[in-house]
Amino acid sequence: MSYSARLDALKQRHASLESRIQDEDQRPRPDSDALMRLKLEKLHLKEEMEKISTLVD
């Protein structure tokens, strides 16, 4: 998989996680553990995207 294809896949996953975080946060009783896991995964994706973007440029 090329760097740009990997970056695109990570961006899609990042957007999906953002949507899941918003959905969970809108629930009457959000699951704080689930939110923490989703946000942590989103952060890891962002860090990986930043590393790859330096290789693509």
**Contact predicate 9/49, CB 8 Å:** no
- Angstrom CA distances, 50 to 5, 6, 30, 41, 44, stand at 14, 12, 29, 14, 10
pLDDT, one tens digit per residue, over 11-41 is 999 999 999 999 999 999 999 999 999 999 9
**What is the number of other CB atoms lying within 10 angstroms of the CB of residue 3?**
14
Give yes or no for residue 8 having a pLDDT over 90.
Answer: yes
Domain layout of the chain by residue ranges: 3-56
Give yes or no for residue 56 having a pLDDT over 90.
Answer: no
Question: Cα(47)–Cα(6) distance, rounded to whole angstroms?
Answer: 13
